[in-house]
Amino acid sequence: MAQSDARDRLVAGAADMLRRRGLNATSVRELAKHSGAPLGSTYHYFPGGKSQLAAEAVRLADALTVRKLTAELSAGPVDGLRAFVGMWRKIVVDSDFQAGCPVLAVSVEDQPDEDDEPRRAAAEAFGHWTVLLADALREHGAAEDAAERTATLIVAAIEGTVALCRAQRSIRPLDQTAEALENIVRSVLGAGADQPN
Amino acid sequence: MAQSDARDRLVAGAADMLRRRGLNATSVRELAKHSGAPLGSTYHYFPGGKSQLAAEAVRLADALTVRKLTAELSAGPVDGLRAFVGMWRKIVVDSDFQAGCPVLAVSVEDQPDEDDEPRRAAAEAFGHWTVLLADALREHGAAEDAAERTATLIVAAIEGTVALCRAQRSIRPLDQTAEALENIVRSVLGAGADQPN
């Protein structure tokens, strides 16, 4: 296995653990084991320890989401929203409601101020997604403030819905949120102002 | 201190820990210490251990939220929504972005199927809040399906926004989500269908 492959596998494994168990409950030893990597290699690739590895896992999830959103938003905000929803649906359903979002996971556990790289990576990730969605909404006719507000609503609502689905062991909250958000996006774009929900 | 006081203090302390650190990373020993209670009393009051205590903490947060929502929704869905938002704003701001929602916290960490009482309590809590909001929306003129969809959107969006605020160390996402949701509620009630967002 090439060096970069081993490193990438550790980051992907860490992202998967964060999706399932969160940050504070996961040790570097468990992350190494989950990725099938020797413990020593973890410290070799990530001298900053768990917070460095977790931050890279958050950035991986961020980058994959940015790539997906950028590609799908080129067809318009509704298509972008559907792709965003579909991505989370697959993660939740394929894991039988055991996995969610590593970005949310590191956002809801406190980290010491001097070691909060994962939290800062999460803040950037949410920012990237919101900007992409807001830009697409504006480009398709939404007013400046409505675009930003709606983009924030979409990111927050999808993240929250993933948690609801996991708690309730049901995909129904995501179906409902997706329909509500799609109606809102259409309204904001001026295509269906008489049917806001 | 009366027996019930000691027990209540343990549950309140557990809720506070869950808001900040989540479930898996918190030991019964830490919960006892955080509540200023002897470790033995924890096992005395909660023979089911951490999952029983955590489930009661989730039910406490549920009950407080139900009480608040029920009281404020009597003045209408917009007032109820504002109170719901205000409750979370206070928790996030007063804790300097260190605390969020214990119900969400236990929803995003996997628990073994044979020991998932906290997750089941969280599912019930989200259900209670959604039903209260949906009932109020229906009573004030929303259509059946729009009421349920909008109630789910509100609960999911506020929960997700609390995570965004904590990650970004900013209350701005909550301000934006609150404004977007208020516009949506007004639209669904038929009071402002020309201004969905």
A148 vs B100, B176, B187: nearest CB: B176
Instruction: Say yes or no: A81 contacts chain B, CB-CB below 8 A.
Output: no
Residue A138's domain is classified under what CATH number? 1.10.357.10
The 8-class DSSP code of residue A86 comes to H
Q: Closest approach of chain B CAs to the CA of A10, in angstroms?
A: 20
Residue A133 has pLDDT above 90, yes or no: yes
Q: Are A99 and A151 in contact (CB under 8 A)?
A: no
Is the residue at B29 inside a domain?
Answer: no
pLDDT band at B35; cut points 50, 70, 90: confident
Residue of B nearest to A194 (CA): B193
Specify if B27 maps to a domain.
no
Mean per-residue pLDDT, A38-56: 91
C-alpha closest to that of A17 among B21, B108, B102, B118: B108
pLDDT-based confidence at residue B2 (cuts at 50, 70, 90) = low
Mean pLDDT of B60-88: 97
Given a cut of 90, is residue B36 above it in pLDDT? no
Specify the number of domains making up chain A: 1
Q: What is the DSSP track for A44-73? A: HH-TTHHHHHHHHHHHHHHHHHHHHHHHHH
Q: Establish if A176 belongs to a structural domain.
A: yes
A167-180 mean pLDDT: 98
Give the pLDDT mean for A135-148.
96
Whole-number pLDDT of residue A193: 40
Task: Measure in Å the smallest separation between the Cα of A88 and chain B Cα atoms.
Answer: 14
* Mean pLDDT, residues B80-88: 97
Name the residue among A22, A162, A176 with its Cβ closest to that of B109.
A22
Residue B193 pLDDT? 41
Predicted ipTM? 0.94
By CB neighbour count within 10 A (0-12 exposed, 13-18 middle, 19+ buried), where does B95 fall?
middle
Calpha distance B93→A109 (Å, rounded): 16
- Contact flag B149-A176 (C-beta cutoff 8 Å): yes
Give the nearest chain B residue to A27 (CA atoms): B25
Would residue A132 count as lying in a domain? yes
Chain A residue whose CA is closest to B129 = A164
- Which two structure tokens, joined as six digits, stand for A19? 């999706």
* Radius of gyration of the CA atoms of chain A, in A: 18
Across A75-91, average pLDDT: 97
Query: Angle at Cα B90 formed by Cα A159 and Cα B169, nearest 5°?
Result: 55
- Nearest-CA distance from A3 to chain B in Å? 31
Q: What's the predicted TM-score (pTM) here?
A: 0.94
Contact across the interface for A21 and B109, Cβ inside 8 Å: yes
Q: Does the beta-carbon distance from B167 to A22 stay under 8 Å? A: no
Structural domain includes residue A82? yes
Indicate which of B18, B89, B108 best probes the interface with A, i.e. most A CBs within 10 Å of its own CB.
B108
Do the domain assignments include residue B24?
A: no
Residue numbers in B near A159 (CB within 8 A) = 159-160, 163-164
The mean pLDDT of chain A is 92
Q: Find the length of chain B.
A: 197
For the purposes of burial, counting CB atoms within 10 Å of the CB of A2, is it exposed (0-12), middle (13-18) or buried (19 or more)? exposed
Say how many C-beta atoms besides its own lie within 10 A of residue A3's C-beta. Answer: 10
Domain of residue A125: give its range: 58-188
Q: How far is B41 from chain A (nearest CA, A)?
A: 24
Over residues A130-140, mean pLDDT = 98
Q: What's residue B3's pLDDT?
A: 65
Tell me, yes or no, whether B107 lies in a domain.
Answer: yes
Please give the Cα distance from B43 to B46 (Å, whole number): 5
- Interval B118-162: pLDDT, tens: 999 999 999 999 999 999 999 999 999 999 999 999 999 999 999
Q: Is A113 on the interface with B (CB under 8 A)?
A: no
State residue B163's pLDDT score. 98
Q: Confirm if A22 and B109 have CB atoms less than 8 A apart.
A: yes
Check if the beta carbon of residue A126 is closer than 8 Å to that of residue A118.
no
